[in-house]
Structure 1
Amino acid sequence: MVEYLIFLTISTSIFALFGLGLNLQWGFTGLINFGHVAFMTLGAYTTVLLSLKGVPLLLSAIIGAVVAALLGLAIGFSTLRLREDYLAIVTIGVGELIRLVVNNQDLPVGNEWKPGAFGVQSYPIPLATLVPNIFIKLLLIGVLTLLAGITLWQLWRWIRVSKVSNIANSHKKVGGNQEFISRLVIGVLLAVLTVAVYISGAIALYNYNPTAGLMLMSLIVLAFVFWRLEILVRSPWGRILKAIREDEEIPKALGKNVFWYKLQSLMLGGAIAGIAGAFIAWQLSAIYPNNFEPQETFNAWIIVILGGSGNNLGTVLGAIIYFIYYEGTRNLDKIIPLDSDRLSALRIMIIGLILMVLMIWRPQGILGKKEELTLGK
């Protein structure tokens, strides 16, 4: 049970990172990216191939993020001066192009070249060979404790802000109460999940399991990226991105270089997806071109839409809900007698139906702000 929860935590962290990159591009800037998996692919393969050449793992992951950002630069220069639909078309094509090139191109694995369709295996993974003493174990558990403590404190602040706002806007009692109750329920559920992950992680770190080390790394990176993005989107830079999303003619009239801001958003979102690619390669221990099919992009879209576009916490919540659903329906064949292919199609149909209902009931997503996305209209 502990190992399974750690696996789910790593998967959720990776796709939360992946979704945060897309949320920056779409949720905050309005860039339609249907090939987001291309950035993940480049990040994964760059990290793995460089590490096989002896480049330190951390440096390999950073270079992978830079390469993914450069892809965003190339796509941006070719499409961002055109209509929005050109970006959507180009990104779909680029995502498939990179996967097919990796599938059909020989790759330098070690001292020899191997067909890309055979995948890449036996590459270094962070903390896999670590044999920690009791001091290192306690240090790792201390870092996990700090992360859990910060998470619980931030959740408490998030709920408290809603309560204070509810009191201040008591003349709007019904709407305020609904927001406070929803925040309270979501906050309590996230707090329970945080405690469960903390207990499982502390046990696995004390008995040292390499996957627990990877889980801690993924949570640290997710927390750092989330923190920096929250600062960025609340800065003047982030406010310009939101203005571009709503009506780019307004920032243009104010003298802002809209093309440059879009390019920055596309590159930064791509770099974040590249980091997610490094982590998915480390989690899988062997990567193949079929790990990066277009479905991964639409999983990210599901996460962003479900949690609420233009809201970083909503993206993290969307990733949690998505993986709870995904793992919860894995054994649906015990209830409904279907083969694996039909079961997979049914699971996609169900989540599609959930999204349709959500779009009718709450089109801005669970934590999205409808008044912000429509400029209060």
Structure 2
Amino acid sequence: MIDYLVYLLTIVGIWGILSLSLNLQYGITGLVNLGHIAFFMLGAYISTILVMVVGTGYVVGFIGGMLAAAAFGALIALPTAHLQQDYWAISTLAAAEIVRLIFKNETIGGTYQGGPYGFSGIPQPLKDSLSSEAFGWFYLGLTAVLVAAALVALMWLLRMPFGRVLKAMREGDEVPLALGKNVGNLRIRAMALGGAVAGLAGALYAHFNAFIDPTYFLPLETFLVWAMVILGGAGNYVGALVGALIVQAIYNSTRFVAGVVPLDADTVGSLRMIVIGVLIILVIHYMPRGLVPERSRRYAGTAKKTEGREHVRTSPSQG
């Protein structure tokens, strides 16, 4: 059970980083990205190719995966930056499928490597120097550090002028345009930044799982990331992590249900998607802002206090 919990928390952390990246694009900026799993896939594949085929170090592999995902985000946003939301969503879904089909049909690194075979035996940092149990704890710690780093960086960004402009874009293009901001350029930067964070999650996943193939990155996986953001609360980074915890706990709990419920393994596996879907419906109906809703800044109280101080300063009793 301890080994399972270590595994579950590691997976929650990896997918938590992925949900943080979608929260930046959708929850903060308002970009409906239906192909988000492509960033995850690029991070996983590019890091694997760099470390396993080219022979670089893990740090280079991780950075390469992040840069490739960021470049892809900017690339798909360049021709679509001025599209309306529904057309934008369709174009991102199509772009993600193009990437998946390319990796599915291209063999890289020799016979039975890449393409439909995927990559097996992906190198894992310190795997040869640690026992299986110690490696699990090590990777959990590494994931926790990167989750914390991503969370702090994104929350810091949100307090910067760039982050405030992204939030203004979420409400419509009129406000940033009135302020002289280039909306298309901002969308490209948001897609690239979110892609880089998702690429980090993909690299983490590849070197933790030690095997990847194109079937791991179907559109269904994008649905899971969206479920995390919607359940947790779009626009709230902590909520995105809470959503990742809930969805992955449900998704990985069927192994215990199979021995209790008189159903075959395939049916029990399908039930987890039903449970997640029902949960989304309930949250949208009763808690439309999510389990951990975004905090709204209110300036009315501050304004009243300022007016009160000004009144005290100008009152006759002050001379």
From 218, 225, 228, the counterpart of 1:300: 225
Q: Per-residue CA shift, 1:35-90, capped at 9, x if unaligned? A: 10101111101000110221111111101100000000110001111112222111
Decide whether the 8 Å contact of 2:3 with 2:133 is kept in 1.
no
**Mapping of 1:265-284 within 5 angstroms?**
265-284=190-209
Distance 1:370 1:356, change over 3 A: farther
SS of residue in 2 equivalent to 1:107: coil
Residue equivalent to 1:170: none
The answer to whether residue 237 in structure 2 is matched with residue 236 in structure 1 is: no
Residue equivalent to 1:81: 82
**Mapping of 1:39-50 within 5 angstroms?**
39-50=39-50
SS of residue in 2 equivalent to 1:367: coil
**Mapping of 1:100-115 within 5 angstroms?**
100-109=101-110, 114=113
Residue equivalent to 1:93: 94
Residue equivalent to 2:123: 124
Residue equivalent to 1:291: 216
Q: Greater relative contact order: 1 or 2 (C-alpha under 8 angstroms, separation 6 or more)? A: 1
Q: Per-residue CA shift, 1:301-358, capped at 9, x if unaligned? A: 0000011000000011111112222233433334432223322222211211111111
Decide whether the 8 Å contact of 1:127 with 1:214 is kept in 2.
no
Distance 1:366 1:127, change over 3 A: same
Q: Per-residue CA shift, 1:264-313, capped at 9, x if unaligned? A: 11111111111111111011111111111111111100000011000000
SS of residue in 2 equivalent to 1:38: helix
Decide whether the 8 Å contact of 1:72 with 1:267 is kept in 2.
yes
The alignment's C-alpha RMSD in Å is 1.8
Percent of paired sites with the same residue: 37
Decide whether the 8 Å contact of 1:43 with 1:68 is kept in 2.
yes
Q: Following the alignment from structure 2 to structure 1, what is the Cα–Cα distance between the partners of residues 149 and 71?
A: 22
SS of residue in 2 equivalent to 1:318: helix
Q: Following the alignment from structure 2 to structure 1, what is the Cα–Cα distance between the partners of residues 46 and 231?
A: 31
Residue equivalent to 2:302: none
The amino acid of 2:170's aligned partner reads: R
Question: Which 5+ residue runs of structure 1 have no aligned equivalent?
Answer: 132-203, 373-377
**Mapping of 1:1-377 within 5 angstroms?**
1-52=1-52, 53-109=54-110, 114=113, 116-130=115-129, 209-369=134-294
Decide whether the 8 Å contact of 2:43 with 2:203 is kept in 1.
yes
Q: Per-residue CA shift, 1:15-36, capped at 9, x if unaligned? A: 0000001000000000000110
Q: Following the alignment from structure 1 to structure 2, what is the Cα–Cα distance between the partners of residues 288 and 350?
A: 26
SS of residue in 1 equivalent to 2:78: helix
SS of residue in 2 equivalent to 1:331: helix
Residue equivalent to 1:153: none
Q: Following the alignment from structure 2 to structure 1, what is the Cα–Cα distance between the partners of residues 284 and 103?
A: 36
Q: What TM-score comes out, normalization by structure 1 length?
A: 0.75
Residue equivalent to 1:176: none
Q: What TM-score comes out, normalization by structure 2 length?
A: 0.88
Distance 1:115 1:226, change over 3 A: closer
Decide whether the 8 Å contact of 2:113 with 2:120 is kept in 1.
no
The amino acid of 1:120's aligned partner reads: F
The amino acid of 2:232's aligned partner reads: G
Decide whether the 8 Å contact of 2:58 with 2:125 is kept in 1.
yes
SS of residue in 2 equivalent to 1:209: helix
The amino acid of 2:129's aligned partner reads: L
Q: Per-residue CA shift, 1:119-150, capped at 9, x if unaligned? A: 1122321121235xxxxxxxxxxxxxxxxxxx
The amino acid of 2:142's aligned partner reads: M
Q: Following the alignment from structure 2 to structure 1, what is the Cα–Cα distance between the partners of residues 214 and 103?
A: 6
Decide whether the 8 Å contact of 1:364 with 1:370 is kept in 2.
no
Q: Following the alignment from structure 1 to structure 2, what is the Cα–Cα distance between the partners of residues 36 and 115?
A: 21
Q: Following the alignment from structure 1 to structure 2, what is the Cα–Cα distance between the partners of residues 264 and 318?
A: 25
For residue 100 of structure 1, report the CA deviation from its aligned partner: 1.7
Q: Per-residue CA shift, 1:91-119, capped at 9, x if unaligned? A: 1112222112211111124xx67451111
SS of residue in 1 equivalent to 2:275: helix
The amino acid of 1:124's aligned partner reads: P
Decide whether the 8 Å contact of 2:46 with 2:65 is kept in 1.
yes
- Largest Rg, 1 or 2: 2
SS of residue in 1 equivalent to 2:127: coil
> Quick check: which one's helix share is greater?
1
